[in-house]
Amino acid sequence: LENCHLSTAIEPSWRQRNPQRVPNLIGGRFVDSQSFASIDVINPATQQVVSQVPLTTNEEFRAAVFAAKRAFPSWRDMPVTARQHIMFKLHELIRRDVEKLAFTISSEHGKTLKDAYGDVYRGLEVVEHATGMATLQMGEFVSNVSNGIDTYSIREPLGVCAGICPFNFPAMIPLWMFPIAVTCGNTFILKPSEKDPGASIILAELAMEAGLPNGVLNIVHGTNDIVNAICDDDNIRAISFVGSNTAGMHIYGRASAKGKRVQSNMGAKNHAIVMPDASIGATLNALVAAGFGAAGQRCMALSTVVFVGDSKSWENKLVELAKALKVNAGTEPDADLGPVISKQAKERVCRLIQTGVESGAKLLLDGRNVVVPGYEHGNFIGPTILSDVTSSMECYKEEIFGPVLLCMQADSLEEAINIINRNKYGNGASIFTTSGIAARKFQTEIEAGQVGINVPIPVPLPFFSFTGNKASFAGDLNFYGKAGVNFYTQIKTVTQQWKDLPSGGVSLAMPTSQ
């Protein structure tokens, strides 16, 4: 590691290139990668190349880890109040630049500007939470555990931690990770999604402007190879991952085998149960918003509705509401939903819709052939609704991650809960009802991390943890909340003795408190 060095001769060029190259951030400097290989970041509404992400070289990766390792001792030793002050400043700067962040997110990811603001603000809540780290990271103290002896525990940072991000929340998910990790006193290596890294770069610029010392936050880019390098590097102590099950389980296995802590938030198939007594207008609005918002590309999207009792009248009204949604480029002011992330994603979603039709589901609303004037090349899919869906269909078993709502029917709450609990995922689930008895049964019996009662997207504020059940999560310490601080810290337990020691002889027996 000591031998790692970088050529800085071409340092300014990443901004000047057209399309711009996304820089690495190593030891406090945004530097162009020496790599010849790069991936185009494509605006999904226009297919224009927004920028190019390099595949960070192995030498650059090692330099980033070295920078993080070198920055750790003095950052750890900085008073927690000073670290908190940097988070206060970062909070202010993110608010100042929210428009720039939202525009970058919308043009790389495709989500509507309004939704992109939500992406930033939900992440901002975590920065706000990190400003209270002195209290969150408090240890414990028991006085006089034995005569003249006290024991206390200290929550200490781990060292170098890393975060690997998905494409669907380009600001919120990096902000789930590094603000908590660094305010606990760790240093960090962030690997943004190669599909929309722009927001991570802006956030890192803001963090540097806020006073984060060089090397505390570093950014590297790439796909499988860089992820494997992160899993394998002995200097990295913990990995936060959010993304698909394929990548998440691979990372969990590989990094755990190296003795690292891993928290891995993965795929979802979030269901809503609609009871016959549910408030009609509010429930329909919630289903449409949670099913089609962000074109269904949220890990907490409600992608399946189970109607208890008659489903037909609900479905008809759903179709009417969904039909009225405006599909357009996310940067257009009237857009309700933008494109999906890539051509491959569009093909996959359309294929899954087709498998549903072929296995007997009814296509109540078909968004596959939507045309958006002025954006004819965009990866658009309009709201799509399939009814009479059963648990054996491929469209039900797979996470679709597109603007597709599946409708199922059950005769009782019991049956609806059983359908959900048989699904392999357990990220979120909601119930819509005016019955407290039904809601309480649902809350008790449902196997999901986030539970909503008349709330469609129950993403918790950061003083609680974002969790996940069954295949939606691997690890044992969740993101943010108390668990998030525990993930990024380890406990040191100190036993101290301050008394006049007796001069009587040596005892080789195990000391006890008796």
Q: Which residues bind ligand NAD (CB under 6 A)?
A: 164-169, 191, 193-194, 223-224, 227, 242-244, 246-247, 250, 265-268, 299, 399, 401, 427, 468, 472
Q: Which is nearer to ligand NAD, 185 or 402 (CB)?
A: 402
Query: What is the pairing mode between strands 384-387 and 362-365?
Result: antiparallel
CB of 467 to ligand NAD, least distance (A): 9
Spell 292-307 as b/e; 16+ CB within 10 A means b: bbbbbbbbbbbbbbbb
Of the chain, the end-to-end C-alpha distance in Å amounts to 50
Cα 269 to Cα 179, 220, 251, 305, distances in angstroms: 28, 31, 21, 11
Question: What six digits make up the tokens of 496?
Answer: 């101290």
Please tell me which residue in 161, 299, 350, 407 is annotated as part of the active site. 299
Cβ proximity to ligand NAD: between 27 and 243 the closer is: 243
**Burial class (CB within 10 angstroms; exposed 0-12, middle 13-18, buried 19+) of 392:** exposed
Supply the DSSP string of 409-446, one letter for each residue: EESSHHHHHHHHHHSSEESEEEEE-S-HHHHHHHHHH-
- The least CB distance from residue 30 to ligand NAD, in Å, is 19
Which are the contacts of 161, defined by CB distance < 8 A and separation ≥ 6? 181, 186, 187, 188, 189, 236, 237, 238, 239, 240, 488
3-state secondary structure at position 192 = coil
Q: How far is the CB of 236 from ligand NAD (least distance, A)?
A: 15
Catalytic-residue membership of 299: yes
Closest separation in Å from C-beta 214 to ligand NAD? 24
Q: Which is nearer to ligand NAD, 83 or 298 (CB)?
A: 298
CA distances from 384 to 54, 325, 390 (A): 36, 11, 17
Q: Which is nearer to ligand NAD, 107 or 478 (CB)?
A: 478
Write out the two tokens for 176.
């789930």
Identify whether the C-beta of residue 237 lies closer than 8 Å to the C-beta of residue 128: no
**Shortest separation between residue 195's beta carbon and ligand NAD, angstroms:** 7
Residue 194 C-beta: closest distance to ligand NAD, Å: 5
Q: Which residue is nearest to ligand NAD (CB)?
A: 243
Compare residues 48 and 224 and give the one whose CB is closer to ligand NAD.
Answer: 224
Residue 183 vs 193, nearer CB to ligand NAD: 193
- Enzyme catalytic residues: 299
